[in-house]
């Protein structure tokens, strides 16, 4: 029986790399974002703009993923900023997964930019693991236009840790025999699932390296960290049940939130935001062939007080207008129209694949016609971009755009070259 062989494939600076590859390969741009200090971030005028991805030159300025855009600009005034292009990222991710499946049918996608590939028993097709990884890595670079790191081991955990070693465009192994020299020397923060809070607790116990965690008393870890302590002890020793790292289950709910560029103080502003959110939620439901039986509204005030309300829908639906009308009813029942709001969210639950509709004597809408219209709009947006067709309320501008957030297929926006004076905060 062949020894287990798992690859972990992780795109280097995914959003930025995909943006750069698209501009060079499709648009014919000669300007490579990856060669200059550049970042992917949200709207420059938005108060919640954060860094989603950064280039290696930007990293040298101390710019970090997740920090505010304004702070990054203070570190590098000449920073090139591009808007997120979610549809492009989804398309690039799908192409990556399709290429990986040419090497093995067993591909577990962990996130939009990383996946595990079970390469067990493929040596006669692609050679030894490191040779197969080089072939895979080079094909991704040459055919798709971006680079990846590939970690190789006998289980998903060690393969993922190996993939996080030196970047970019590298191949690393972390076999059980290499654990003492490669894994145990790492700080505990580098171990999978260890975040800031857990790192702080481990430091309080005098545990700063993965090796110290691996040799710590299991009973003490269970006492201090409960079940997580036992899991981390096994992880530190390179052991894991691959089921723990299984890909996410099918969506049981769909949702979208928007932190508004300024406080919502008028009902019309709130309704425009809700319509924008429902456009995206409805599109995602229809894309997956699902309908929802429950809708929930979440609100956050300017002083960060959160509250929510939900209600069942008359019939399972994925129609934008039905979702919007229900969201507006919740909005009218929840908001006093006096307290300024900084965030609104729409979420649907009790998702089903059934396409039946509970008929009512009081229904006066032509639901069949609405469904055909939604399907036609989705098809046009998928082919030509989400802003090519939009409701009139968004043409006048306002607090929200046509579709807030979400994962559209072809959002084509952003700058292609540095603009020195634009967008300074």
More confident position, 246 or 167: 167
Residue pair 410/385 in contact by the 8 Å Cβ criterion: yes
What DSSP state is assigned to residue 251?
P
Average pLDDT score over residue span 258-265: 86
Those residues whose C-beta lies under 8 Å from the C-beta of residue 281, and which sit 6 or more positions away, are 254, 255, 256, 323, 346, 347, 348, 406
Classify each residue of 314-337 as buried b or exposed e, where b means 16 or more C-beta atoms within 10 Å of its C-beta. Answer: ebbbbbbbbbbebbbebbeeebee
Predicted model pTM:
0.63
**Does the pLDDT at position 243 exceed 90?**
no
Residue pair 88/18 in contact by the 8 Å Cβ criterion: yes
Looking from the CA of 210 toward its CB, the CA atoms found within 13 Å total 25
Highest average pLDDT, of 136-150, 335-349, 350-364, 389-403, comes from: 136-150
List the domains of the chain with CATH numbers: 1-183 (3.30.70.270), 184-245 (1.10.150.20), 254-395 (3.30.1490.100)
* Active site (annotated) includes residue 166: no
pLDDT at 158 (0 to 100)? 95
Looking from the CA of 89 toward its CB, the CA atoms found within 13 Å total 22
Rounded to an integer, what distance in angstroms lies between the CA atom of residue 17 and that of residue 58?
13
**Does the pLDDT at position 230 exceed 60?**
yes
What SS3 class is residue 314?
Answer: strand
Beta-bridge partner residues of 402:
none
pLDDT at 3 (0 to 100)? 84
pLDDT at 417 (0 to 100)? 32
**Does the pLDDT at position 342 exceed 50?**
yes
Give 272-286 as a DSSP string: HHHHHHHHHHHHHHH
> In 10 A of CB 181, how many CB atoms?
9
Structure tokens at 31: 């300007």
Alpha-carbon torsion (72, 73, 77, 82), positive or negative? positive
Nearest Cα neighbor of 54 from 41, 44, 45, 73 is: 41
Residue pair 257/341 in contact by the 8 Å Cβ criterion: no
> Catalytic one among 43, 67, 114, 379?
114
Phi-psi region of 398 (alpha: psi -120 to 50; beta: other; left: phi over 0): left
Rounded to an integer, what distance in angstroms lies between the CA atom of residue 289 and that of residue 295?
17
Average pLDDT score over residue span 11-20: 93
pLDDT at 343 (0 to 100)? 87
More confident position, 238 or 399: 238
44-48, 91-95, 353-357, 411-415: least confidently modelled range: 411-415
Average pLDDT score over residue span 153-161: 94
Residue pair 278/327 in contact by the 8 Å Cβ criterion: yes
Average pLDDT score over residue span 221-243: 87
Average pLDDT score over residue span 315-328: 92
pLDDT at 251 (0 to 100)? 59
Residue 178's pLDDT band, with cuts at 50, 70 and 90, is very high
**pLDDT single digits (tens) 357-415:** 555 545 556 667 888 888 888 888 877 777 788 888 888 778 888 777 544 434 433 33
Average pLDDT, rounded, for the chain: 85
């Amino acid at each position: 029986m062949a020894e287990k062989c798992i690859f972990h494939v992780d795109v280097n600076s995914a959003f930025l790399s995909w943006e750069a590859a698209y501009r060079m390969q499709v648009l014919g741009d000669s300007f490579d974002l990856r060669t200059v200090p550049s970042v992917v971030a949200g709207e420059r005028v938005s108060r919640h703009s954060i860094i989603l991805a950064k280039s290696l030159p930007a990293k040298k300025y101390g710019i970090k993923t997740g920090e505010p855009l304004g702070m990054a600009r203070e570190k590098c005034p000449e920073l090139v900023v591009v808007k997120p292009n979610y549809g492009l990222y989804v398309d690039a991710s799908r192409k990556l997964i399709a290429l990986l499946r040419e090497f093995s049918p067993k591909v577990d996608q962990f996130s939009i930019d990383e996946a595990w590939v079970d390469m067990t028993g493929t040596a006669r097709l692609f050679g030894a693991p490191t040779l197969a990884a080089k072939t895979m890595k080079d094909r991704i670079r040459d055919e798709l236009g971006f680079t990846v790191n590939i970690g190789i081991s006998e289980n998903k955990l060690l393969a993922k840790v190996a993939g996080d070693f030196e970047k970019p465009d590298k191949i690393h192994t972390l076999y059980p025999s290499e654990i003492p020299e490669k894994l145990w020397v790492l700080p505990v923060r580098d171990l999978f699932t260890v975040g800031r809070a857990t790192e702080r607790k481990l430091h309080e116990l005098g545990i700063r390296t993965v090796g110290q965690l691996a040799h710590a008393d299991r009973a003490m870890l269970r006492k201090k960290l409960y079940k997580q302590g036992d899991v981390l002890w096994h992880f530190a020793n390179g052991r894991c049940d691959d089921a723990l790292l299984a890909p996410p289950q099918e969506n049981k709910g769909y949702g979208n939130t928007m932190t508004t560029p300024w406080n919502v103080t008028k009902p019309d502003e709130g309704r425009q935001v809700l319509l924008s959110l429902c456009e995206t939620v409805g599109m995602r439901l229809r894309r997956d062939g699902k309908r929802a039986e429950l809708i929930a509204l979440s609100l956050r005030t300017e002083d960060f007080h959160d509250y929510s309300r939900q209600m069942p829908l008359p019939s399972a639906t994925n129609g934008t207008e039905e979702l919007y009308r229900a969201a507006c009813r919740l909005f009218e029942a929840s908001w006093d129209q006096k307290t300024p709001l900084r965030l609104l969210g729409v979420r649907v639950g009790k998702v089903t694949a059934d396409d039946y509709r509970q008929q009512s004597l009081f229904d006066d809408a032509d639901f069949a016609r609405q469904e055909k219209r939604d399907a036609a709009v989705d098809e046009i947006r998928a082919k030509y971009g989400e802003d090519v067709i939009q409701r009139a309320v968004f043409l006048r501008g306002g607090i929200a755009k046509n579709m807030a957030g979400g994962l559209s297929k072809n959002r084509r926006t952003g700058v292609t070259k540095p603009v020195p004076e634009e967008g300074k905060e």
